[in-house]
Structures are given as C-alpha cells and as structure tokens.
Amino acid sequence: MDIRKALGLAGYELVFESGLGHDPRTRIEVAGLIDRDAKVVKASLQFPESSYQRFTLAHELGHVVLHPDEGGIHRDRPLDGVTRSREPGELEADRFATFFLMPAKLLKECFRQRFGADCFVLTDDTAFALSRTASDTVREKNPTRRHLARTLAAAETYNARSFKSLAHLFGVSVGAMAIRLEELDLFEA
C-alpha cells in the first residue's frame, strides 16, 4: 500500500516539511496539508513516528479521491484522542485511510494466522496463550473492550509463537489497529 504511488497516480506530489504550523482554531500542530491548486500533499516531520504519518497521508489521499472538486488549501490536525465534532468530509477521509491501510479481508487473514481463530474469545486457554496468565488476570488488565483490542493489536506472541504485531505489520498505531479490530468484531471480551 504505497501512498506515494497512489498520490502520484492521482497527479499529486508528496513533500515532507519540518513543520506546517498550527490550526488557528485549535492551536494544535498540523500533521498534513493538501494544496489542490499546486497538486501537492505535505506532511509534517513534527510527527516522526511513521504510523501517524502513514495515517495522515492516507487521510489526505482520501481527500484527493473522495473530494476532488474541493479547491484551495486544506489542513488537517493530528488525531490526538480528544473527541471533537468533525466535519463529514474529515470523517470520510479517516474512513478511507482506515480501509486503505487496514483492508478487512487482509486484516482478518492476518488475525486468523496469529490467533488461530476468526474471532478471539477470552477463555482460560486463550488468556494463557496470550499472556501466560489466567483469564481473570487478563480481564483485570483489560477492563474495557478497547483495552483488550489494544492488547491484541500490540501482541507479538501467542501460544508460544512470535510474530510482528498487527499494528506493526500494517504500519499503523496500536490505537488505530485497536479501533479496526473492534469495527470488524474480531474478538469478544
């Protein structure tokens, strides 16, 4: 999933800059910017972790694909975990990025390869395979559905087998992968 190639096919150049300024409304550092007139997508180097840059760039690609008639310059702020109302176009671009970076069919197959099932169900056996502890201990450490999703997204071992975590494999943050695992109902808490 080469974002640079996809942007190039759409006629856009990708440029990395040391910073893109702050959103005037929120005063939060801008992570990505699309200049439709110049056909340029810019990414801030203020967010060095590649998973955040990848999501930002896939989000901008979403704007290119889904909102081709919007003109001018568009700025995006990073997803910082704070719930704010967002415009429908921003939510659409986020969904595009999610589908582009973590396609359902591929993610389900990788999940099955790691956890040996289409749906992870927390039992004493699966808890032991995941963390070498009892299910009560895993439930204690993962009190919410999101906590367990984050644990599965970051897991690098299961049933004495080592592998790259799903988040690492797909090049996204643990938080983004956790949300996708929830959306696809790949586990029961």
User: Tell me, what's the pLDDT at 121?
Assistant: 96
For residue 96, report the phi and psi dihedrals to the nearest 5 degrees.
-60, -50
Model confidence, pTM: 0.83
pLDDT at residue 4, rounded to an integer: 87
Instruction: Give the model's pLDDT for residue 81.
Output: 42
Q: In angstroms, what is the C-alpha Rg of the chain? A: 18
Q: What is the mean pLDDT, run by run of 10 residues, along the chain of 189 residues? A: 87 86 73 87 78 86 86 58 63 92 98 97 96 94 96 97 96 94 94
Residue 158: predicted pLDDT: 97
Amino acid found at 111 = F
Note the pLDDT of residue 105: 98
Residue 76's identity, in one-letter code, is D
The conformation of residue 30, written as its DSSP 8-state character, comes to P
- The predicted pLDDT at position 49 comes to 63
Choose the CATH number for 3-101 among 3.20.20.210, 1.10.10.2910, 3.40.30.10, 2.60.40.60: 1.10.10.2910
Greatest CA span in the chain, whole angstroms?
58
Give per-residue burial for 131-147: e unless 16+ CB within 10 Å, then b: beeebeebeeebeeeee
For residue 156, report the phi and psi dihedrals to the nearest 5 degrees: -120, 0
Of 101, 105, 84, the residue nearest 93 (C-alpha)? 101
Alpha carbon separation from 24 to 27, 33, 77, 97, 133 (Å, rounded): 5, 14, 10, 24, 48
Chain region(s) in the chain for CATH 1.10.10.2910: 3-101
